[in-house]
Amino acid sequence: MYRIEVAPAADRDLEKLKGRIRRQDFERLREAVNSLATEPRPQGIRKIKSAERAYRIRVGNYRVVYEVYDSDKLVLILQVARRSETTYRHNV
Q: Is 75 exposed, middle or buried (0-12, 13-18, 19+ CB in 10 A)?
A: buried
How many alpha carbons lie under 13 Å from residue 29 in its C-beta half-sphere? 24
Cβ neighbors of 92 (< 8 A, separation 6 or more) are: 50, 51, 52, 53, 54, 67, 78
27-46 per-position pLDDT tens digit: 999 999 999 999 999 998 99
Average pLDDT over residues 8-35: 92
Q: Supply the pTM of this predicted model.
A: 0.84
CATH of domain 3-82: 3.30.2310.20
